Structure 1
Amino acid sequence: MQTRLSALAALAAITVPVFPAQSHHSNSAYQVDEIITLTGTVMEWRWSNPHTWLILAVEDENGNEREWAVEGRAPGILGRAGWHPTILQPGETVTVHASPSKDGSAVGIISRVTKADGVILGNRPDFFGAE
């Protein structure tokens, strides 16, 4: 009996396909019940999976520049909402509405971005362009 179980286990190990691990990314690091407003200069716009990132230079209340990293949704979702890899350019001024991190660091998750020309970039296709 033991030999039969060992043989079945070995066969299963050989025949079971191996898939890459998929992870789920939650918003648990952010205070999603709070929205802050950041106005700053785009330093970098990363259009990458699993999440996009917007790096901003934001002047704080003391006049000091602080770098903020705000996480966006996946490129596939944002693409359907009207975003694209070059929609944000270094040097342009934007206003970001975001939920801040729970630990108080200069990190957040994007709710929406308003460009200097008034274009609003939302997270859902039915939100794009709405105020």
Structure 2
Amino acid sequence: MTTRFLSILAAALMVAGPAFAHHSFAMFDYNKEVTLVGEVKEFKWTNPHIHVYLKAPDVTGAMAEWEIEGATPDNLKRQGWSRDTFKPGDKVTIVVHPLKNGTTGGMLVKATHSDGRAVGGRN
């Protein structure tokens, strides 16, 4: 009886583990979109989400570094992204759902290179 209970408990914990590992997206304001025009500082092709660090003006017009979170590499790969989608120095336009707390960050909605090539995103 104890062995069966422990086996069921272990299986339940293994299934529930990933659910606790993922963070909430409540910090993003999905009622707003902000368009950022700037220069890529860094692009991280990492799990569980990609990150783009962008030098672009903040809401006051001062130059700031924005941390933009995107979908998973697997999801973005299906949309044509790769670890070479952005390189430091690339000029881009990125639309984000901004952070609710007003800091310079957001959830990627869509991106466009300076030559007009659209890049995937959460459309």
Q: TM-score range by the shorter chain?
A: 0.7 to 0.9
Decide which of 18, 22, 35 is 1:22's aligned counterpart.
18
Match of 2:115 in 1: 117
User: How far does the alpha carbon of each residue in 1:23-66 deviate from its partner, in whole angstroms, 9 at most, with x for none?
Assistant: 34442111112110011110111111111100011134666320
Matched with 1:12 is 5
Structure number, greater radius of gyration: 1
Q: Mark the runs of 5 or more structure 1 residues left unpaired by the alignment.
A: 1-7
Name the CA distance, whole Å, in 2 between partners of 1:29 and 1:74. Answer: 18
In structure 1, how many angstroms separate the alpha carbons of the residues matched to 2:61 and 2:121?
30
What is the CA-CA distance between 1:13 and the residue it aligns to? 1.9
What amino acid maps onto 2:18 in structure 1? Q
Per the normalisation by structure 1, the TM-score is 0.79
Query: Which is richer in helix?
Result: 2
Q: CA deviation at 1:117?
A: 1.2
* Contact 1:77/1:123 (<8 A) preserved: no
Find the aligned partners of 1:37 and 1:63 in 2 and give their Cα distance.
Answer: 13
How many angstroms apart in 2 are the aligned matches of 1:13 and 1:61? 54
Shift of 1:78: 0.4
The Cα shift of 1:14 comes to: 5.3
Q: Percentage identity across aligned positions? A: 31
What do you get for the CA RMSD once the two structures are aligned?
Answer: 2.2
Q: Distance in 1 between matches of 2:78 and 2:44?
A: 17
What do residues 84-105 of structure 1 show as CA deviations (whole Å, max 9, x unaligned)? 0011000111110010011111
Superposition map of 1:1-131 within 5 A: 8-13=1-6, 16-17=10-11, 19=14, 21-23=17-19, 24-60=22-58, 64-123=62-121
Task: Provide the aligned length of Structure 1 versus Structure 2.
Answer: 118
* TM-score w.r.t. length of structure 2: 0.83
Unaligned stretches of 5+ residues in structure 2: none
Cα pair distance change 1:101/1:63, threshold 3 Å: closer
